[in-house]
Amino acid sequence: MKVYLSTFGCRANHYDSEVVRAVLERGGAEIVADPSIADTAVFNSCAVTAEAEADLRRGVRRVARLRPGIRTVVMGCASARDPEGVRALPGVTVVFAGAGGARVAAAVGIDASGAPPARQGGTRALLRIQDGCDEHCTFCATTLARGANRSRPVAELVTEAERLAEHHPEIVLTGVHIGTYGADTGVSLGALVDGLVRAVPSVRFRLSSVEATEVDDRLRERLAAGDGGLTPYLHAPLQSGSDRVLRRMGRHWYTAASYACAVERIVRDASVFGLGADVIAGFPGETEEEHRATHALVSSLPFTGLHVFPYSVRQGTAAERLSERVNGNDVARRARDLRELGESCARAYRARRAGSAADVVVIGNRAHRSGLTEDDLSVIPTDDALPRGARVRARLELTDGVLFARPDPL
């Protein structure tokens, strides 16, 4: 059986798809990149934005046109939020919420018994440490689809990390709200990371997205250690620099000031540190003054990049009922303004890193070769002989805005 597998959305979704891939391949299926030759299509859907759901619909319809009569299975967040709407798409035969390699295997008639292999499709491996979220941000549809926070046991995660380390130089810890890891089991994220770094010293670990105010002393010290165990990079969602907008978003656990204090505390002991954030432009009720407050806060902190999202209404969320919608042209202009600021921060940081040493993992093969530094900078390795997955110490050189990584003999 030939299966076309398509994934939308976050790293947690991509981890779920890697589990599906492993189960299907173990059962004898062949994963193909061309849907026109597939017997079955599996889509792992996302519901974080309206565009993500539109991408799913376009993808399913495209596959149905290319391969009339194909059986399509849809899993993930969009199918949890709107199962009937997804089921109505052409070719869709099975829809279920969430993830599950065994469920997909059963849906396509494949035996899913036995433990899946540890090798994933990407150069870097994903390790989902928890799922769900206990918060209720008014703009977020993910909580509605993913449910409450659920942490995986430390011993189980260490065992999986040991297997992944046999094939991957970096393991990315992912989930829906990983800063709350262990809240349901009495363990902290910092304790988990310490345990992983000690148990699996041959790889470097990376955090996906963590709230700045949820980084405790143990995790902060690990981020600043500089020993190659945990990468000095944090993606800390900000969303807005206005306290009033944060309250309307339901993000009650921090203010603009406490976010800034948390970030400054995290980065102050690190000689090299990458800092990213999510920011929403044009949330209902956001004024020009509040947009400027977000711009000012971002400008005052050592960001090395931003993910900017124009606000879009998500059906079923509390924000759908909020008044004072921002004009679409203003939303687009504010998003553009913040993106330009993020690009400026990124350029400045790349320039500061030029001439310094970096821990580089080689991504891709020859024609699509790149590298990723510990602080999340994309670089071009100068040594074409380096294989995909190689991890090397390199010296960074900046030419025409592009960072090159030259292996450092020292």
Q: Give the CATH number for residue 170.
A: 3.30.750.210
Query: Domain boundary residue among 51, 76, 108?
Result: 108
Do residues 78 and 144 both lie within one domain? no
Do residues 315 and 391 both lie within one domain? no
Do residues 79 and 141 both lie within one domain? no
Answer whether residue 7 is part of any domain. yes
Give dist(CA 349, CA 351) in Å, integer: 5
- Long-range Cβ contact pairs of 84-88 (< 8 A, separation 24 or more): 86/45, 86/56
CATH classification of the domain holding 12: 3.40.50.12160
**CA of 71: how far to CAs of 67, 92, 95, in Å?**
9, 6, 11
Structure tokens at 156: 């189980």
Answer whether residue 374 is part of any domain. yes
Angle, helices 154-164/189-199, rounded to nearest 10 degrees: 40
Yes or no: say if 5 and 42 are a contact pair by the CB < 8 Å rule.
yes
pLDDT, position 317? 82
Do residues 17 and 99 both lie within one domain? yes
Answer whether residue 264 is part of any domain. yes
Nearest to 230 by CA among 180, 173, 181: 173
Instruction: List the pLDDT tens digit at each of the 410 positions of the chain.
Output: 889 998 887 778 888 888 888 888 877 888 899 999 999 999 998 877 778 888 999 999 999 999 999 999 998 888 877 888 889 999 988 888 777 777 788 888 887 665 555 688 889 999 999 888 888 888 877 666 677 888 999 999 999 999 999 999 999 999 989 999 999 999 999 999 999 999 999 999 999 999 999 999 999 999 998 888 999 999 999 999 999 999 999 999 999 999 999 999 999 878 899 999 999 999 999 999 999 999 999 999 999 999 999 998 877 788 888 888 999 999 999 999 999 999 999 999 999 999 999 999 999 876 778 999 999 999 999 998 899 999 999 999 999 989 999 998 64
Sheet of 125-128, strand order: 125-128, 170-174, 204-207
Answer whether residue 32 is part of any domain. yes
Do residues 219 and 269 both lie within one domain? no
Yes or no: say if 117 and 150 are a contact pair by the CB < 8 Å rule.
no
Query: Domain boundary residue among 201, 231, 261?
Result: 231
Answer whether residue 115 is part of any domain. no
Number of domains in the chain: 4
Answer whether residue 113 is part of any domain. no
Do residues 207 and 279 both lie within one domain? no
Give dist(CA 16, CA 128) in Å, integer: 8
Yes or no: say if 164 and 52 are a contact pair by the CB < 8 Å rule.
no
Do residues 392 and 344 both lie within one domain? no
Instruction: Dump the DSSP string for 181-192.
Output: TTTTTT--HHHH
The range of the structural domain enclosing residue 204 comes to 122-231
Query: Domain boundary residue among 231, 258, 282?
Result: 231
Residue 146: half-sphere exposure toward Cβ, Cα within 13 Å = 26
Do residues 349 and 362 both lie within one domain? no
Backbone angles phi, psi at 94, to 5 degrees: -135, 135
Answer whether residue 116 is part of any domain. no
Residue in the structure block whose two tokens are 């947690």 = 12
CATH classification of the domain holding 252: 3.30.750.200
Answer whether residue 114 is part of any domain. no
Do residues 67 and 150 both lie within one domain? no
Do residues 344 and 374 both lie within one domain? no
Structure tokens at 208: 């996906």
Nearest to 326 by CA among 263, 284, 360: 284
Single pTM value for the model = 0.84
